């Protein structure tokens, strides 16, 4: 089923993205997006008694288990549960949205072939579902930090910046992967392996300071380029470090946290994050263009 209003002309020309106009179309279709997210959540938790509580249990168990483990075994990182979760939740949003986003158009082939609607909604819904989990779990983490450590300015101001960057990057990559995956199904498998490597390249379970020290060791350069700068080219690294700084920095203010987090100033990190945000926005425009251009033929290719 389909709905459009006004005069529409359909030609053989492949469509070109006009961001403003397309945004208005998407805004007009927000009801579909909301309904699809609602549907996904509903299906995910259907026939389960606790429903969304399962999602909340996840970080709670993490907090409990790692508090216990660090007490008994000890790790190099003090307050490890907060360090781990602040980065892991962001990573979970990223990888869950990408994994299901890449599949979103394929999985909804029936919809795409039978119903006319802005196809961007499909990867956006995948991001939306991951976002709901992220928000719920972040609420748990926030409450935990607030209860045991209290919140701390100005580090906390990094959180919205890191969050915005994460969201833009996730949406951009989801759009691109979902569009390309329609034609080349390998992309989905490639993504799964890629995400595994990507996870370990990003400082989530190990101290980011460790990575910085390794990168800056020796000459600290590869072909004249500082290795640490190369390390920061992974856009998820500044994002995760932003979350670290915002939440874990609260627990361990900068001077104490030095051995764990990047040894950089707050403005420096904010600057890198802002650059990443700009790059992500450029990527988003590009990925959206690719998606929009291809989406006219989805119904045919599926």
Judged by the rule CB under 8 A, the positions of this chain that interact with another protein are 1-12, 14, 28-29, 31-32, 34-36, 38-39, 42-43, 46, 110-117, 183-187, 296-297, 299-300
Alpha carbon distance 83, 175 (integer Å): 30
Shortest gap between Cβ of 268 and another protein (angstroms)?
40
Shortest gap between Cβ of 123 and another protein (angstroms)?
17
Alpha carbon distance 205, 81 (integer Å): 10
Nearer to another protein (CB atom), residue 112 or residue 162: 112
Nearer to another protein (CB atom), residue 115 or residue 282: 115
Nearer to another protein (CB atom), residue 3 or residue 225: 3
Supply the DSSP symbol for 155.
G
300 φ/ψ sector (left φ>0, alpha ψ -120 to 50, else beta): alpha
Q: In Å, how far are 90, 122, 139, 151, 280 from 147, measured between CA atoms? A: 21, 38, 12, 9, 34
Shortest gap between Cβ of 107 and another protein (angstroms)?
12
What is the DSSP track for 106-122?
A: HHTHHHHHH--S-TTHH
Structure-block tokens of residue 91: 């990573």
Nearer to another protein (CB atom), residue 43 or residue 214: 43
Shortest gap between Cβ of 50 and another protein (angstroms)?
18
Q: Crossing angle of helices 30-44/19-28, nearest 10°?
A: 60
Structure-block tokens of residue 227: 């290795």
Shortest gap between Cβ of 47 and another protein (angstroms)?
9
Shortest gap between Cβ of 114 and another protein (angstroms)?
3
Burial class of 44 by CB neighbour count within 10 A (0 to 12, 13 to 18, 19+)? middle
Nearer to another protein (CB atom), residue 35 or residue 256: 35
Shortest gap between Cβ of 180 and another protein (angstroms)?
10
Nearer to another protein (CB atom), residue 268 or residue 297: 297
Structure-block tokens of residue 89: 């939740």
Shortest gap between Cβ of 15 and another protein (angstroms)?
8
Nearer to another protein (CB atom), residue 189 or residue 285: 189
Alpha carbon distance 119, 111 (integer Å): 10
Burial class of 191 by CB neighbour count within 10 A (0 to 12, 13 to 18, 19+)? buried
CA 41: distance to chain centroid? 18
Q: Give the closest residue to 120 by CA, choosing from 288, 2, 298.
A: 288
Nearer to another protein (CB atom), residue 42 or residue 285: 42
Q: In Å, how far are 7, 179, 297 from 13, measured between CA atoms? A: 17, 18, 11
What is the maximum alpha-carbon separation in the chain? 69
């Amino acid at each position: 089923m389909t709905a459009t209003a006004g005069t529409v002309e359909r030609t053989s020309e492949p469509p070109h993205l006009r961001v403003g106009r397309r945004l208005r179309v998407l805004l007009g279709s927000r009801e579909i997006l909301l309904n699809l997210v609602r549907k996904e959540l509903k299906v995910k938790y259907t026939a389960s008694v606790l429903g969304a509580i399962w999602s909340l249990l996840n970080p709670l168990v993490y907090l409990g288990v790692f508090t216990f483990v660090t007490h008994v075994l000890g790790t190099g990182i003090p307050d490890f549960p907060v360090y781990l979760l602040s980065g892991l939740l962001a990573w979970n949003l990223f990888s869950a949205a990408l994994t299901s986003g890449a599949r979103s158009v394929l999985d909804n082939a029936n919809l795409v072939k039978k119903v006319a609607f802005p196809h961007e909604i499909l990867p956006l819904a995948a991001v939306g579902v991951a976002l709901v989990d992220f928000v719920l779990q972040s609420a748990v983490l926030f409450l935990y930090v607030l209860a045991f450590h209290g919140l701390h300015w100005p580090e906390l101001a990094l959180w919205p910046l890191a969050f915005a960057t994460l969201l833009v990057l996730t949406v951009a990559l989801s759009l691109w992967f979902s569009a390309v995956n329609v034609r080349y199904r390998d992309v989905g498998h490639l993504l799964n392996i890629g995400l595994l490597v990507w996870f370990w390249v990003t400082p989530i379970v190990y101290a980011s300071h460790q990575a910085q020290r390794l990168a800056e060791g020796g000459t600290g350069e590869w072909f004249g380029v500082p290795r640490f700068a190369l390390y920061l080219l992974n856009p998820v690294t500044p994002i995760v470090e932003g979350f670290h700084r915002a939440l874990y920095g609260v627990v361990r203010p900068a001077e104490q946290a030095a051995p764990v987090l990047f040894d950089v100033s707050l403005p420096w990190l904010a600057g890198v994050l802002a650059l990443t945000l700009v790059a992500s926005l450029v990527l988003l425009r590009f990925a959206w263009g690719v998606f929009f251009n291809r989406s006219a033929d989805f119904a045919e290719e599926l």
